[in-house]
Amino acid sequence: MQIKTVRCHKIDEDITTVTLDKVNLPPPSENEVQVKLKACAVNFTDILKIQGKYQRKPPLPFAPGGEAAGDIIAVGSNVSGITLGAKVILGGDYGGFAEAINVSASTVKPMPRSMSYAAAASFQTAYMTAWVALTCRGHLKPGENLLVHGATGGVGMAAVDLGKHLGANVIATGGRDDKLTIVKTRGANHVINYTMPNNEIGGFRDEVKSLTNGKGADVIFDPVGGGVFDESMRCINTDGRLLTIGFTSGQWPRAAVNLILIKQLSVIGVRAGEYGRKYPEQGKQNTRAVYELADTGQIKPYVCKAFPLTEAVSAMQMLASREVVGKCVVTMNGYSMASVG
């Protein structure tokens, strides 16, 4: 079967060097299924892989895209329990920017009943990261004050969503009022624009203290790093947990050890994927928990825009330029979102 796919043929800082190719996709092997893809999430890791900056480097040429949703159109001879036409989700390192893909039958799961293809392609990584951070590492309790930085991005929005589900009082920060308005409508108790007049990030400490009756946040979810981390150290409650998820600011912070001592706080690193590999049984429990929340409609990723496969570069450029609210997706085989969100 001939399919269209967007592929990276060379490692390049310029992501526009990817090409739309026609390739022949063989039938699935005996332990594989063939999935006609409808939507694939766009993640920063896709860009990093094209640029050669990701830890795991796919063999060239490769199609970006790891999280996708679609329909089963062929089943290998040794596969049982999966029927033709079944709606499924899948996850992997690459291959999702394509009209169809062959994957191991063990890696697909039924698509959550409450979700569209676009939403189903978008929840796994973001929500697993937030789940591991808030439950396994941060031990967030009902009634606690949760401060979520970078709350307008996919992982940040997931943390807001799960924080509300877990019963926290959620304070969300971001750099644009229009984006924060969406976060507020999706459940955040309070939102703070932490961009200062000179376009530097900061200035949220006093407002967080005010919103928490002077105590500060009990748990802080920080995928930003840099100055955001530094100021977070000054608006965290005694015995607080500061979760470091990543460094989208491009700057590694330097923890003020005196504040760690005085406030008896914990600075906790979070690597959701590595957590599952280190503790496989807990990892399986986490996967089941997040999937159950998705399947029953208790969580829902926000998808701001869908791009056809022919415009996959534009989708990655939108993400790279920080214009995405929540998630964006690439769509295939005539699928388009009926509505945003």
Q: What is the mean pLDDT of residues 218-242?
A: 93
- Rounded to 10°, the helix 154-165/124-131 angle is 50
User: What percent of the chain has a predicted confidence (pLDDT) above 70?
Assistant: 96
Q: Is residue 166 part of a domain?
A: yes
Residues 57, 28, single domain; the answer is yes
Residues 172, 247, single domain; the answer is yes
For the stretch 29-66, pLDDT in tens is 999 999 999 999 999 999 999 999 888 899 999 999 99
Residues 104, 91, single domain; the answer is yes
Residues 316, 261, single domain; the answer is no
Residues 210, 108, single domain; the answer is no
Confidence of residue 340 (pLDDT cuts 50, 70, 90): very low
Residues 46, 147, single domain; the answer is no
Identify the CATH number of the domain in which residue 133 sits.
Answer: 3.40.50.720
For the stretch 102-118, pLDDT in tens is 999 999 999 999 999 99
Q: What is the mean pLDDT of residues 231-257?
A: 87
DSSP assigned state of 133: I
Q: Which of 89, 117, 111, 112 is nearest to 101 (CA)?
A: 89
User: What percent of the chain has a predicted confidence (pLDDT) above 90?
Assistant: 83
pLDDT at position 328 is 96
For the stretch 279-335, pLDDT in tens is 999 999 999 999 999 999 999 899 999 999 999 999 999 999 999 999 999 999 999
Residues 210, 307, single domain; the answer is no
**Coil/strand/helix, residue 85:** coil
Domain boundary among 255, 274, 293: 274
pLDDT at position 339 is 43
One-letter amino acid of 54:
Y
Q: In the predicted model, is pLDDT for residue 77 greater than 70? A: yes
pLDDT at position 253 is 78
What residue numbers bound the domain in which 137 lies? Answer: 125-274
| Mean pLDDT value across the chain | 93
- The CA distance from 234 to 227, in Å, is 11
| Six token digits for residue 223 | 């995928």
**Sign of the Cα pseudo-torsion (48, 201, 155, 216, in order):** positive
Q: What is the mean pLDDT of residues 167-186?
A: 96
pLDDT at position 211 is 96
For the stretch 119-165, pLDDT in tens is 999 999 999 999 999 999 999 999 999 999 999 999 999 999 999 99
pLDDT at position 196 is 61
Residues 111, 204, single domain; the answer is no
pLDDT at position 341 is 45
Identify the CATH number of the domain in which residue 6 sits.
Answer: 3.90.180.10
Number of domain units in the chain: 2
Domain boundary among 274, 289, 311: 274
pTM to 2 decimals? 0.91
- The CA distance from 241 to 233, in Å, is 10
Residues 251, 326, single domain; the answer is no
pLDDT at position 200 is 58
Q: Is residue 292 part of a domain?
A: no
Q: In the predicted model, is pLDDT for residue 337 greater than 80? A: no
Q: Is residue 184 part of a domain?
A: yes
Q: Tell me the residue ranges of DSSP E strands in the chain.
A: 2-7, 19-24, 32-41, 67-75, 87-91, 100-104, 108-110, 145-148, 169-174, 190-193, 217-222, 236-244, 266-269, 303-308, 327-331
Domain boundary among 254, 274, 294: 274
Q: In the predicted model, is pLDDT for residue 201 greater than 80? A: no
Q: What is the mean pLDDT of residues 69-87?
A: 96
Residues 110, 249, single domain; the answer is no
Q: Answer whether 157's CB lies under 8 Å from 181's CB.
A: no
pLDDT at position 259 is 84
Peptide bond between residue 26 and the one before it cis (omega within 30 degrees of 0): no
Residues 139, 226, single domain; the answer is yes
Q: Is residue 293 part of a domain?
A: no
